[in-house]
Amino acid sequence: MGREEDALRKKLDEVVGTRYDERGRFGLQWLRKSLPKWLAGVVLAVAAVATVWTVLDRHLKAAHARPGSERNPVMIQVLPAGK
């Protein structure tokens, strides 16, 4: 039963790849292969935050810089309910 389980685990590992890591063990080689991906992720995250910040900042400044309404206020008269 042990051989069958090992063969099955090996076959599943080939298909699913739960134990395979192309970067290898944690160390200098792993760092060389992982660092560019991490740096790219950080750069993209900072760019996304900067984009959102810029868009919101421009819209808020434009909303506050808009001139006020020059029209006269509307007068509302509340009438008592008729009985």
Q: Are 30 and 24 in contact (CB under 8 A)?
A: yes
User: pLDDT tens, 20-70?
Assistant: 555 666 777 777 878 888 899 999 999 999 999 999 999 988 887 777 666
Q: Are 50 and 57 in contact (CB under 8 A)?
A: no
Which has more pLDDT, 8 or 38? 38
**Residue position matching structure tokens 């042990």:** 2
| Per-residue model confidence (pLDDT) at position 15 | 76
8: phi then psi, degrees, rounded to nearest 5: -65, -45
Alpha-carbon span 1 to 67, nearest angstrom:
82
